[in-house]
Amino acid sequence: MISEAAGTGSAEHFVLERTFDAPAELVYRAWTEPEHFKQWIAPEGYSIPFCEIDLRVGGKMKAAMRGPAGDHWFAGEYLELDPPRKIVSTDYFCDPEGNLLQPSEIGLPEGWPAVNHVTITFREENGRTHVKVDQPMVTLAAAKALGADMGWNSSLDNLAELLKRMA
């Protein structure tokens, strides 16, 4: 389910919510362990040939997403970790060495933030886990025009399948 929440300042928040038939600890592991993360984060038609995760506050994540147009690198820094309830991190596009790329360098619209903050919460109830992804965007229209909703939903479909195999 996609919902739109009012933002603060000039950003709007792109919010996705999904409930998985798995305990929060398992969902959190799938989100934070490279061997699992690589299997689900890429939407349909893409893959993750490289991923490293240093799971600690101040640690970094870096991955390459391979698609029809080649590899696109993204990275982030972990700002807050509360296993298995919450992850707060930055998110940005980078070169293979992890250096920040400006949004205009990769064709994103003017005003797109170079660094996003993403909050992921995991709430378990009766063995099922509700996940909420909250990602500020320049505008929801721009995010949707770039396919953020379709990409995230495809990735979360992959996560549901992975969790079945991990159970």
| 154 vs 114: CA distance, rounded Å | 24
Q: Domain 2-166: give its CATH superfamily.
A: START domain (3.30.530.20)
Averaged pLDDT, 96-106? 95
Which residue is listed with tokens 């939903």?
153
Which amino acid, one-letter code, is at 129? Answer: T
Does the pTM surpass 0.85? The reply is yes
Q: Provide the pLDDT for residue 67.
A: 95
Residue 163's Cα: distance from chain center in Å?
16
- Give the model confidence (pLDDT) of 103-154 as tens digits: 999 988 777 889 999 999 999 999 999 999 998 876 667 777 677 778 889 9
Sequence ranges of the domains in the chain: 2-166
Query: C-alpha angle 89/109/38, rounded to 5°?
Result: 40
Q: Provide the pLDDT for residue 12.
A: 80
Q: Provide the pLDDT for residue 147.
A: 74
Residue 54 is classified by DSSP as -
Find residue 52's DSSP bridge partners.
Answer: 62
